Each structure stands twice: as C-alpha cells, then as structure tokens.
Amino acid sequence: MNKVNWPAYLDLLDHTSNGYDGDILLPFAIDELLCKEVGEGRKPIVHLWRHPSALVLGLRDRRLPYALEAMEYLRAQGMEVSVRNSGGAAVPLDLGVVNVSVILPNPLRTLDFHQDFQYLIDLVRGGLGQAGMIIDQGEITGAYCPGEYDLSIAGRKFCGIAQRRQTKAYVVQGFIVAEGSGQERARLVREFYRQASGESEGHAEATHAGIYPVIETEYTASLEELGVHGGANAFVTGISHWLRTRSEVMDFDPRSLSQEATSAMVESLRNRYEK
C-alpha cells in the first residue's frame, strides 16, 4: 500500500449533521469553488456531507437514450437527480451515505492518480480504524458505480471513489454506505438503468452492449450490514478523530463562501453536464 503525506494544516467542513437538503449540485459546486481556492493557495480541506434523497449520475449515464425521462420520473417521486462533474457512474444518496471530498493542491500538475486516490482510501481506513475489519481495494463486479478503487469487506462494496482535477488542485470524492440496505440502493440504480436504456420498453440490448454497468444487488452493502456498528455518525466521528491525529485541523465556516458564487457554480454545472 502506498503511503501518502497528509498536510500539516487542514480545514474541515462537516455538513453531515443535517445534510444538504435541496439541490444535489450544491455540495459539488462547493467542492469546485474550494478546489479553485486551494489551487490559489488556501489550505487543503476535507468536506463531509450527506443528502436525504438523491441519485447522482456520471457523465456516461446521461448519454443513455432515455436518461432524461428516467431522471424526470425520479424527480416526480421527490428525489433530486443531477449529473456530477467527476468520474464514475450512478450513485444513490440518502442520510445513511457519508460523502467525503479531500481537496488538495497540485502545483506541479502531476498526474499520479493512484497516489491521489490513496488519500481517500487512507481516510476511510483511518475512520474505521477501531472496527477491526479487513478492507480490500479493487473493483467489485456487480456493484453499482464499479471502479478500480472500490473498497469492500468480504467481497461486498461499501465505498466508491472518483476524482475531479483542476489546473492547480484536485478533489478526490468518495461515497461511504454507512447504514441501511445496500440491496435496496442497488435496486434503485438498476431500475434507473432499466428505464434510461429503454429496457422498460422492451429494448434489452443495452446491457449486452456494455452501455451501463450490470448491477447485482448482493454485491453492495452498508457498513452496518457488514458488522461495523454506529452508522453514519460513528463513521464521521472516526474520520474527524483520525484527521486530527495527522494534521492540525480547523473547522471551516461555510458562511465564508459567497452565496452568489455558489449559486452561479450550481447553474454552471447543471448547464455544462445535464444538457
């Protein structure tokens, strides 16, 4: 396992107590703005957040032939649906899922992706340090949002990782399924793909053509289901404690962010990635 050197000084933006209730693009817009500031010299920052009900799509998902119709169907059910600007595929979010962004400078503009992802892996393992579980890294075929940097316990995925790079800084983002049913979330993603590909209208060729991931419900689980007790709150506490053993951490006041700039970034992301 590669070792990474955590910055001596970090800010921590913890928005998990109540979650972002509203536009799901808001936390991604905040990441984008903070990443720009980190590239211009501000301290690195870790952003923790939750959302009560959303499906966040990858860029490839948006290209499915009936994606807009499937998105509107979910919105009619009261769910937020948008396309994120980082890699990966569709991910369902609720208050049992903890989202983590590690925002770091990249002044030399290096492209060491493995090293970058290792920060998030390090942080997740640190947050679970007292759980005594063996955490594996590697793609879990059949899980939603599959990728090389999936984190799993006993063959069942609980964490996916993606990345967003700017010119002088980057964001490594992860979702951690802390509590609730992994199978129910997998079924939601599978149904989205069924509708967005047109399979709900009898066009079943999309799966076989590899247009979207094949989802099997048994390959995703929450930490709670995997025997890690305490749920989302315990995981957030573990992350915060672990960070403070590695860096001098200051709590970040989100009120210092310009509401006008944040709103403008939300609309920019929506116009850029959803149309």
- Alpha carbons 163 and 102: distance in angstroms, whole number: 10
Please, where are the H alpha helices in the chain? 25-39, 59-62, 67-76, 113-127, 182-197, 205-208, 231-246, 259-273
- 159 contacts 223 by C-beta, under 8 angstroms: no
Count the alpha carbons within 13 Å of 20 in the hemisphere toward its beta carbon: 24
Q: Cα dist. 97→27, 45, 56, 145, 242 in Å?
A: 14, 20, 12, 14, 19
- Alpha carbons 50 and 27: distance in angstroms, whole number: 9
Q: Which of 24, 128, 145, 186 is catalytic?
A: 145
Count the alpha carbons within 13 Å of 40 in the hemisphere toward its beta carbon: 6
- Alpha carbons 15 and 53: distance in angstroms, whole number: 15
- Alpha carbons 57 and 48: distance in angstroms, whole number: 19
Let me know if 35 is a catalytic residue: no
Which residues does the annotation mark as catalytic? 145
